[in-house]
Amino acid sequence: MMEKILVGYATKYGSTQEVASFIADVFREPGGNVDLQELRDVRSLDGYRAVVMGAPFYMFKWMKDARQFLSRHQEALSGIPVAVFALGPTEEFKSEEDRHQTYAQLDKALVEFPWLKPVDQALFGGKFDPANLKFPISLFMGKMAPSDLRDWDQIRAWAEDVRGRI
Ligand SMILES: Cc1cc2nc3c(=O)[nH]c(=O)nc-3n(C[C@H](O)[C@H](O)[C@H](O)COP(=O)(O)O)c2cc1C
């Protein structure tokens, strides 16, 4: 029972769910017992020996479900290894400053949780599909080009590295 690992995610449009599912599969390769669950549905962390959690950025904020998950489960998460990932950039960086600001998003989000000492943290490229946008955001971003900057080799390398350390 104590050998289980939780891969938890928050998502609006599904791209973070796909990344979380991919990471869970990488964790299962050596035969690990891994649950994949939406963060908002997690009631208890009893029985988990480690957690990998991920959520996208929206309007410079880490999705609320991720922040609520950390607050709600602070006590349990303080006692087990936790690895954190985020999805964000959906277009190539315009400058070094742009890159720096984008990567700083996750550091800034984690400042809210000084008790959390992640085994590792990563920011991956995200996916943008204007066809999926809901009103009223579709008015502003509906004409933008679709993109998918998720780098599956990078995500696999990260998952394999974390798998060896938690
Ligand atoms: C309305 C909107 C706002 C976004 N804001 C940000 C942002 O502030 N920072 C960022 O890095 N990415 C931002 N993104 C990109 C998303 O994080 C990216 O599309 C991600 O893959 C979405 O994840 P999901 O499909 O799991 O919901 C935004 C995307 C949309 C549609």
Q: Which amino acid is at 148?
A: D
Does pLDDT of 131 surpass 80?
yes
Give the pairing type, strands 82-87 and 120-124. Answer: parallel
- pLDDT at 2 exceeding the cut of 90: no
Query: Contact at 8 Å (CB) between 91 and 126?
Result: no
Domains recognised in the chain with CATH numbers:
4-163 (3.40.50.360)
With contact defined as beta carbons under 8 Å apart, do 120 and 162 qualify? Answer: yes
93 CB less than 6 Å from ligand 1? no
Q: pLDDT tens, 18-49?
A: 999 999 999 999 998 999 999 999 999 999 99
Ligand 1 test: best mutation among 57, 101, 137, most atoms within 8 Å of CB?
Answer: 57
Round to whole Å and give the CA distance between 48 and 83.
Answer: 13
- The model's pLDDT over 41-79, given as tens digits with 9 standing for 90+, comes to 999 999 999 999 999 999 999 999 999 999 999 999 999
- Residue 95 confidence (pLDDT) above 90: yes
| Residue bearing tokens 């990567």 | 103
Judge residue 31's burial from the number of C-beta atoms within 10 Å of its C-beta, 0-12 exposed, 13-18 middle, 19 or more buried.
exposed
Query: From the alpha carbon of 17, which atom of ligand 1 is closest?
Result: 26
Q: Per-residue confidence at 1, pLDDT binned at 50, 70, 90?
A: very low
In this structure, the number of other CB atoms found within 10 A of the CB of residue 157 comes to 13
pTM of the predicted protein model = 0.96
Mean pLDDT, the chain, whole residue set: 95
Q: Interhelix angle for 152-163 vs 15-28, to 10°?
A: 50
